[in-house]
Structure 1
Amino acid sequence: MKMFPELIKFLFTGIIVLFPFNIFCQNNSDPICGTVTSAETLDYFNTLKPQLKHYEAAFMSSKKTQKNGKSISKNYIPIKAHIIRSSNGDGGMDTSELENAITILNNTFGNAFMEFFLCNGINYINNDSFYHFKSNQEQSLVDANNVSGVINIYFTETIENASNEYVCGYTYNKKNYDVIVMQNGCAGNDSSLAHELGHYFSLIHTHGADNTCMTKEMVNGNNCSSDGDQICDTPADPKLTIENVNNFCRYIGTETDSNGEHYTPDTKNIMSYSMKGCRSHFSEQQLARMYAYFMTTKNYLACGGEDAETKISESTNIKIYPNPISGEVIYVKQTSNKEYHSFTISNLMGQVFVSGKLTNNPIHLSHLPSGSYLITLRSNNSKMVKRLIK
C-alpha cells in the first residue's frame, strides 16, 4: 500500500522538474523582435525632445489632477488590418483572434489615452509568397496594399529578416510611414503586438538601442535620460533573456554595471526581452512618451474613405447623450450647422449594429450588448467618429 503514494510522489516530482525545462525550451524557440533602432532614429528622437517634453509634462499633470483638473481627451487610432493567407485562401489570422488582439491593445494602451479601432474592414491578401514573408518583399507588399493615414498592420504566418532570422514582428519610426508586420502566433500572445506598437510610438528596448552590447545605463539612474531606453522610470536592463529570468518572472542574473552595482530590471515591462508571458505593462513615463510622440508626429492618423476626411474628436459641435448609455435610446444634437446627415454605430472591429438617417428622433439601442462602440456621423464630404459606452 505504501508503494502507490511513493510512486505518485516520484511522478509528481518528475513533472515539476521537467516543467521549467519545457517552458524554457518553448521560449528559446520564440522569434525575436525585428525592429532596429538605428543611430539615425536616435538622432531623430533627439530633435523631437523639446516638443516631446511639452506633451509629456501635460500628460503627467493630467494624471495627477484628473479628479480636479482638465483631463486629456482620448485619441482614437485607426488600424488597417491586412490578413495574409495562402494563394488558395487557406490559413491566416481568424477574425476572433484579431478582435481579441485589439481588445488586449486597448486594455494596455488605455492609460496612454489611446484606443485602437479597425478602419474600413479587413484586407485579405492571398499570396503564398507573402504568407511566408521575407523582409526584402516589403516594398512590393506595401506598394500594393498600404492605406495612407492609418496604421497598416500586416499579419502573416512567418517573417524572416535580412539576416535569415525568424522574427515576431517589426516596425519603423518614420513620419508618414505607418507599417507594422506581425507573425500570426506572436500577435495573439498578449505582449508582442503591444511591443511593436511601443516601437512605432518611439519606445526603445529597455536594454537600449543595441541588442548586441551591454547597456551603458547605470543602476543609480545618473544617465537614464541619455542611455538605455532614455526613460528614467524603467530600471537599467542588462538585456533580459530566458537565461536570467526564471519561470516566476524573477530576474536571476548576476550582471553588474560599471560601478559594480547589480541590476534589478523590470521583467514585466513590455519593451524588454523578458519572456513574452511575463510582459504586461508600460511604465508611466513610457506611456507619457507614446502620448507625446503621437501628438507631435502621428496626429495625422485618421480613418477616411476614398474621398472623405475623418475627424475623431471628443469636443465638437456634436452632443451625444446620454453617454455612457443608461437606457435604451440616445440622442444626437448638432449645436451649429446640421452638416451630418447619417450615422452608423459599430464595434471596434467595424461590425455595424445600427445605421440610419440623422434626425432629431432618438436612436434605439435596446438590443446593443454592453461594451465600447464608435458612432460615425457622415456629411457629404467628411465624417466624424465619437466613442459610445454601454
Structure 2
Amino acid sequence: MQIIYKVFALALLLGVLSPLNSQNQEPAPCGTRIGVSPWLRDFQNRIHSSSRTDDVLYLPLQVHMVGTDQGTGYMSTKAVFQAFCTLNEDFAQANIQFFLANPINYIDNSGYYQHEFDGGYDMMAQNNFPNVINCYIVEDPAGNCGYFFPGVDGIALAKGCTGPNDHTWAHEVGHFLSLPHPFYGWEGETHNYSSPAPLSWEGWQVEKVDGSNCTNAGDGFCDTAPDYLNYRWNCNADGFSSTVQTDPNGATFVSDGTLYMSYSNAACKSTFSDDQIAAMRANIEEVRTNLITLPPAVEDITISAQDEINLLVPASGVLAEGDPVTLTWEAIPGATHYIVQVNPFNFFSIIFEEQIVEGPSIQISGLQPNRTHYWRIKPFNWYNTCSDFTSSSSFETGITTATQERLPGESFQISPNPSSTGQVSLRIQTTTNTLANWQLIDSRGSLQQTGSFQTSTGTQEQVLDISGLPAGLYFIQLQLDGRQSVHKLMVN
C-alpha cells in the first residue's frame, strides 16, 4: 500500500510539474503548481463572511540541512538563521510567525543534496517530523529554487535561493498554506503577449482586467490583479512588470511584482494580499490545526541587543592554557542558545570553528597553540534568530597541550560560597606535585587578583582576601599543569 501511494503521489505531482533537467541550468523560480484546491475554492466563496482574528498565530517549523555523503556542502547556520528571520519578517503582516520546533536536523545524503522529484519524495517520506512544517535546504531541488510537495507535505529549498534577501521560503510556505500562483493556469504555457489572451487554458478561465471572472480565474482572489507571466521577471521602480499583457477582452495591463506568490525577482517582492492572508490564516485554523501552538511570552521572544561579548573567561590579556579551551561569557537576556565562531584571524568570511551551545560557555578543542584566536557569538532562541553577531574578542593560546580535565582523585572547592566574609578558602586535592596558578575575574571579565602556589600530593588550602571586592558574581580560574577548572564565586 505504501508503494502504491508513493507512485500515485508522484504521478499527481509530476502531472502538474514540468519535467526538468536540473543540470547546467539556472534554477526555475518554483516547482510547485498546486491549483485552487476544493478547500480554497470553498473558502473563496465565503471569504467575506468568514470570521477573522488578528491574533498572532505561531507555527512550528523544522529545518533539515542536507549535505553530501561526506558531510559537506551545508548552508551555513548563520545564513539559515538570517533567512529564517526574513521568513518571519515576510509573514509579519499576516500575523503569522514561525519558530524552530527542534534543533537543525543534519542529513548526509548526496542523493538528496541534488535530487529530482522522486528523490525529494524519498527524502521527505524518510525524514519528516510530525506536526511541523518540514523544510529541507539542499543544493538542487529538482532544478528549482524551491517547491512544496503536497504528496508528503514537505518543502525543499535551494540554498542559493534562500538568503536573507530572498523570498523563496515565504513563497513556498504560501503554497503550503494553500496559495496558488497569481498566474495559475498559465504554468507551462507559451503565449505571444502582444496578442489578446484566450478565454481559457485547458479548461481554466483566463482572468480579465475588469474583474468579471476573478473568482473563477487565475488564483481565485479578486484582490490580486491578473498576471500571465510564468517566468522569472524584473519589475520597474513601481514594482510592476515591463511586459504589457492583453486580456481576452483586449484590455492591457502589467503584472504586480510586489506579491510574494508571483515570479518577479526577489527585490520586487514585499507583500501578500489581504485575501491571500485571510486564506492562509483560515487554512491554519480549519485544515492545519495540528500546527497551532500557544503564543509565547514576550520574554521568550525578545533578545537584548548586544554589541560586544562581555567576556568572563579567559579574561582579556590572560593566557588560555590547555586543550580544550573554555570560553565563558555573560548570558544575554532572552537568549537560550548561541552560535559561537572561533578563527585564528580577525575576519569571519571563512569559519574555522562553529558550534551551537545552550548557555554562555563552551569548550573548544584542537586550537593552534601559541597564537591569537578571535571569537564572536550570536545569541538566539527558537522564536528569534534575528540578532546580529557581536564584535569579536580575542585570547591567546599557550604552548601547553595537556588535557583540561581533572585527574582521578583531584577536586577543587571554594568555601564559604556565597561569601559575606573578608576571605575565602580554595581547597585543592591533587595527586601531583605542581605549581597551581589562579585568577579571580569579575562579571565584566576584568582580572581582579592573580597568584600561584606550590601543591603537593594530598589536600591543601589557599586563602584569598576578598575584603575589597564589591558584591557580585566572580569566577576563579585554577590551572594545574595545563588542566583548567573554573568555578563561580558569589560575594554578598
TM bin, normalised by shorter chain, reads: 0.5 to 0.7
Match for residue 91 of structure 2 among 103, 106, 109: 109
Distance 1:36 1:351 in 2: 40
- The answer to whether 1:170 aligns with 2:147 is yes
Matches within 5 A, 1:270-349: 270-301=260-291, 311-313=293-295, 346=336
The one-letter code matched in structure 1 to 2:76 is: D
Instruction: Give the RMSD, CA atoms, in angstroms.
Output: 3.5
Unaligned runs of 5+ in 2: 1-24, 190-196, 198-204, 305-333, 340-355, 361-376, 385-492
SS at match of 1:291: helix
Give secondary structure in 1 for the equivalent of 2:253: coil
Residues 52/370 of structure 1: CA separation in 2 closer, same or farther (3 Å cut) = farther
- Given that 1:77 and 1:117 are in contact with CA atoms closer than 8 Å, whether structure 2 keeps it comes out as yes
Letter in 1 for 2:181: H
- Find the aligned partners of 2:72 and 2:233 in 1 and give their Cα distance: 38
Per the TM alignment, residue 262 of structure 1 is displaced from its structure 2 partner at its CA by 0.7
**Normalized against structure 2, the TM-score is what?**
0.51
CA distance in 1, matches of 2:279, 2:102: 28
Question: Cα distance, 1:146 vs. partner?
Answer: 1.0
Matching residue of 1:200: 176
Determine if contact 2:66/2:107 at 8 Å carries over to the other structure. yes
Within 1, Cα distance between the matches of 2:150 and 2:67? 27
Give CA deviations for 1:124-171 in whole Å, capped at 9, x if unaligned. Answer: 0111111111111133212321101001101100122xxxxx111111
Paired AA for residue 129 in structure 1:
G
Higher RCO (CA 8 Å, separation ≥ 6 residues): 1
Secondary structure of 2:280 counterpart: helix
Q: Distance in 1 between matches of 2:29 and 2:238?
A: 21
Is the 1:191–1:276 Cα contact (8 Å) retained in structure 2? Answer: yes
Q: TM-score, normalised by structure 1?
A: 0.63
Does the CA-based 8 Å contact 1:346-1:374 persist in structure 2?
A: no
- Is the aligned partner of 1:191 residue 2:170? no
Bigger Rg, which one: 2
The answer to whether structure 1 residue 120 and structure 2 residue 102 are counterparts is yes
| Structure (1 or 2) with the greater helix fraction | 1
Partner of 1:29: 26
The code of the aligned residue for 1:58 comes to R
* Aligned residue among 253, 260, 266 for 1:263: 253
Q: Alpha-carbon deviations, 1:170-211, whole Å to 9, x = none?
A: 11457xx53101111112252111111111111111112441
Task: Check the 8 A contact 1:208/1:229 in 2, yes or no.
Answer: yes
Higher strand share: 2
1:122 offset after TM fit, Å? 0.8
Contact 1:244-1:253 at 8 Å conserved across structures: no
- Listed as ranges, the gaps of 5+ residues in structure 1 are 1-27, 60-71, 161-165, 303-310, 315-319, 328-343, 355-367, 376-390
The counterpart of 1:98, out of the listed 76, 80, 94, is 80
For residues 137 and 206 of structure 2, the distance between their equivalents in structure 1, rounded to whole angstroms, comes to 35
Contact 1:132 1:156 in 2 (8 A): yes
Taking the aligned partners of 1:169 and 1:88, their CA distance within structure 2 comes to: 24
Count residues in correspondence: 284
2:120 partner letter: E
Moved more, 241-250 or 218-227: 241-250
Aligned-partner residue type, residue 290 of structure 1: M
Secondary structure of the 2:66 match is strand
The alpha-carbon deviation at position 123 of structure 1 amounts to 0.7
User: Which amino acid in 1 is paired with 2:265?
Assistant: M
The 8 Å contact of residues 225 and 256 in structure 2, kept in 1 or not, is answered as yes
Counting only pairs closer than 5 Å after superposition, residues 1-390 of structure 1 correspond to structure 2 as 29-38=26-35, 42-49=37-44, 55=50, 57-59=51-53, 72-160=54-142, 166-173=143-150, 177-188=152-163, 189-213=165-189, 216-239=206-229, 241=231, 245=235, 249-301=239-291, 311-313=293-295, 346=336, 352-353=358-359
Note the alpha carbon deviations across 1:267-319, whole angstroms, 9 max, x for none. 221111112332222122222221111111112116xxxxxxxx5236xxxxx
* Secondary structure in structure 2 of the residue aligned to 1:138: helix
SS at match of 1:154: strand
Identity of aligned residues (%): 29
Query: CA contact under 8 A between 2:239 and 2:256: conserved in structure 1?
Result: no
Counterparts of 1:345 and 1:223, CA distance in 2: 51
CA contact (8 A) 1:51 1:296 kept: no
Q: How far apart in 2 are the matches of 1:348 and 1:45?
A: 41
Residues 306-352 of structure 1: CA deviation (Å, up to 9, x unaligned) = xxxxx5236xxxxx68899799xxxxxxxxxxxxxxxx963799975
Distance in 2 of aligned mates of 1:58 and 1:348: 37
